[in-house]
Amino acid sequence: MKLTGVELRRISLPLVSPFRTSFGTETTRDALLVRVVTTEAEGWGECVAMAAPLYSSEYADAAADVLRRFFVPALASVDHLTAVDVTPTLQKFHGHRMAKAALETAVLDAELRAEGRPLARELGAVHTQVPCGVSVGIMNSTEELLDAVGNYLDEGYLRIKLKIQPGWDIDPVAAVRNRFGDDILLQVDANTAYTVADTRHLARLDPYNLLLIEQPLPEDDILGHAQLAQHLKTPICLDESITSAQTAAAAITLKACSIINIKPGRVGGYLESRRIHDLCQSHNIPVWCGGMLETGLGRAANLALAALPNFTLPGDTSASSRYYQTDITPPFTLTNGHLPVPTTPGIGIDPLEAELAEVTTHTEWLKL
């Protein structure tokens, strides 16, 4: 293929309810979409960077800038472009993995559409449906939390993840266990909100039989996680710390975690995600697919990834209605706690023209 043009599209999609974590509260998904046009086909990618650099150092405006000024011109110079060319072509540019992931996904989507191959099959999927969990944000009260968890369980979600932070951790977990019992799959996510000094406090979560505690310490504190793991019975899962197969290998070697959350945007794309999956599988480290409030475009691709064999824990690939009243694609609907893996070529889904236009705030065409 040869790249002939790229569209950068900004959208603002209201969430059905505010989503609060230890680093902030979101009420809308301010997203950057990437559409590539090649000599063979078109493809879509979704950049998961937030509007502000809160989850990571990346943010949507910076992603658009680096795509416009550096990444797209670099790919335009490649005469026989395939998805595997994206990473080596952009390797000289440091960081900006979320922007790289969006561009790689769009190129991969176009390539697979041209060849009539689904992304799931390309990555090595072995399942036709994926078990789904749901991420529950920090609430204003315990009763509000219990109502939300009860509603999600009624909808059929197979696993509950509670966002936690200092001052909102032990009591909410205890309340959920007391109300819903020990049989529900329950885990917590700290989004880097604690330090090693909180070890004794975090150990108070051990009696609640959690699947895992996700990213309790800052992302660059791999050694701290290794130390923490020696004192907790609750398995440690790394999220923000895992930015590549190389960092995953280091974390595994140091015994900083026993589970890994793979987010394609965070690690630079679905091809690197597959490498991390394979690495973890070879070391008997289970993985699951995290979420970043993706629209149906990102959700479809995540489902393809989550259908690989070592994704043995329910991920955050929730139904479209978890976040959006109206998505920009046909909605993904939960059935018996599962979502179907797309089977048509590429990422397996297209945006709905009217719905996409309704939430679009800006478009920019990069003619090459």
Catalytic residues: 163, 263
Classify 57 as helix, strand or coil: coil
Query: Using CA atoms, how far apart are residues 10 and 12, in angstroms rounded to an integer?
Result: 7
Please list, in sequence order, all residues whose beta carbon lies within 8 angstroms of the beta carbon of residue 349, skipping any fewer than 6 positions away.
Answer: 296, 297, 300, 329, 330, 342
Two structure tokens written together for 28: 């809308």
Centre a 10 Å sphere on the Cβ of residue 156 and count the other Cβ atoms it contains.
14
Phi/psi at 85 (5° precision): -85, -15
Classify 104 as helix, strand or coil: helix
Angle formed by the axes of helices 222-229 and 245-253, nearest 10°: 40
Phi/psi at 49 (5° precision): -60, 140
CA nearest to 53, candidates 41, 63, 67, 66:
63
Phi/psi at 271 (5° precision): -70, -40
The secondary structure of residue 67, as a DSSP letter, is I
